Structure 1
Amino acid sequence: MTEPFPRLSLDAPIVQRLLPRLTEIAEIAMADTVAAVPAYAHIPPEILAEEILPAVVQVCAGFVKSFIAEGSLDPAEVEAIVEYATRRAEEMIPFETLASALFSGTRRIWRIVAASARPEDTADLAAFGDQLIEYIELLSTAMTQTYVDVQETIFGPANEARRRLAAALLCGDDVGDLPSNAGIILHERYRVLALSTTARPSTTADAVETVLTRRRVRDAQRIAENYARVPVLTTFDGHSGVLLLPIEPDDETDLLVDGIAKLLNDNLFAGESEPAVIAALPKAAVEAAEVAALARQLGRPPGLYRIDDMLLEYQVTRPGTARDRISRKLDPVREQPHLLEALHSHIRHGLDRKSAADELHIHPNTFSYRLRRVAELTGIDPAEPAGSRLLAASLTISQAFPGH
């Protein structure tokens, strides 16, 4: 039986030469991995720099610490490995790619260390290689288990059934066995949260865009489930979609929307419905999406909106003869932007003409003249309460439906 190599300590010269170069070696190993593993070329540069490089540095540092801990992984190292493997699994990076990256980087590190060895380091180099293999075995075992667990959790039959269940509920279709297949007990009521980001999805099947989109989907679902404390049914595709929240309204939904927006690093408009029974979910989803879209069209800031936040605006923008006739009230001034600008400012500032004029950087008399021209051309006096309301409604329709 072959005798085991004696374990090295941090004092070994070959280890001491390694320590000052940990970050440099990690950067070289990562660059070699990206070049050697084609799938890694599709990972966005920001993920390489902000996630993968720090993980490689931590792995290198963990290996150095293993000289003290006799080859074991401490909890912090295990947590870092689990997080790294979880992210790659969520991005649907094939496991063979993950394994290739690990061993490609390890091979590069071994070659760097071997190249720095001196004749008197022969025994230490052999022991170093033995400990490196032992450490990589621990890493690969932890990564494999994590990857299998995440794949089953995210992409297993139950999760596919949940996506199909959400789509069926929002379409009003018969859900059949989908709830049991998804491991879900349907609630009596759900609040619909319709999400829409300002970023436009890519129109090409770009590998980098695919990775980022998968991450956006998982980040949104993760924070929603942390908020709801139960599995959340969703159709969110990374840019738009719906969350079904099986909880009663509270004051924290805006925190959920803010949290998702921060994770996505994107502006987010959200429309929230009142709690709806299963049969009413399709209608609630349409209403929630319309509220979010209307807030965006009217130039409101990103955030959470409910129909009570814009009752008048929502009603006057519904299709119908009245909407069309109200919209046409502004036809005589549509080609005169200075008059429309004055009318907008008048509506915002009410009777405070000085503030309205100051906003436009014009004299109050000039502002008053422009309002009189609006009255002359449209036949509606913005200085009268009834006229002001009618013109405000027409402006709202124009903002919601440009060119209407």
Structure 2
Amino acid sequence: MSGERERWAGHKAGVLAELCSQTIARRVSLSTRAAEEIVASTPHYRQHGPTVADLVATVWEFMVGWLTATESGGPAGPGELAAARRHGARRAAQGIAVEDVITGFYVGYRTLWRDMADRAAEQGVSEILLEASEASLGWMLEITTAISAGHHDAVAGRRVLTAAARQRLVNLASVPGATGDAEELRLAAEQAGLDPGAGLQCWWAPIGAATGEVQARIQAGLGLLPGAFAVGQVTTALLVLGHGADEEAVAAVLGEADLTSVAVGLRRTGPYAARESLTDARAAAALAAGRAGLWRFAVLWPLVITASAGERLEPLLAPAVTIAREYPHLAEAVGAFADRGLSVSAAARRLNVHPNTLSYRLERWQDLTGTDVRTVSGLTISRTAVEIAAGSPAPNS
């Protein structure tokens, strides 16, 4: 009885060895057919994937190991598993999703198995090949698991590198007044996934300490918007540098992370665009003083200039600042008038008072301060004084 088992085992081994040998002899045509079926069955491969020659080489690279496992029933070896991890990493670098990589792998080896099954049927040894299928599938599972691991590690590593590139861009841009590093800024922007030629804009949100998880969540949220963005952090704020989406949309993403005070700089172009827009946003954030709202440098620039002038403008502004603090209802009228297009009726509606009341308050303001809000200089002085008295400007949207 044992002799019969030995003879049967020897017969099976011989049959499998012959089937595998026949497959090796046909490796060129089979690898090409497998590659063509991978391309036909996997849309991403068909549109953006590697060349057929690349796929043929991959099929051939793993064919010997698969045939060895089919013939001997053994597991994948360390060298094969290492090659599988490298393959997964290579496909990740090509931008191919792990699902497509695994699908392509199975499609390719399905082609090889079907060819071997057809020859086994012709020779009347299908039962023997079927018994070997468990070992064949076991090898495939080990290899595809290693491919997935290699792909995952490569993607995770690339994310870390990209996050580091984004932070480097933020670090460079946050150095005020620096020059001579235009090329470094350009390369940093490109490495962070931005197009320096498209112009760059900065959003600034005060924050104590953003964890990597918070930054990753914001980066993912920005990824749903048109354009491209890089999230990073300086000591006291989380910053977004980017292009392609409107200011409110970016502020809304930050708001979802409970960052409700957001300052935004001008969209800048040129070699120092990131730094210049960040400088804008930082100045607007200083005026906002952490209050909720969207604070545009495009609107607040007169106050920024006033703040930077310091003591030089104090004699001009001091009388109006004093009145604004002593008569807050007059300051409120000035603010509403300035913010509602210099319209008395619109300002009155904003404050829920009669237009005549609003006009009286503006006249009273002029009597006390000597400034007429209906003139350019008077409006500028009055509006700036009101905001200085309030300690920070009202948010704008």
The alignment's TM-score, normalised by the length of structure 1, stands at: 0.44
The alignment's TM-score, normalised by the length of structure 2, stands at: 0.45
> Rg bigger for which structure?
2
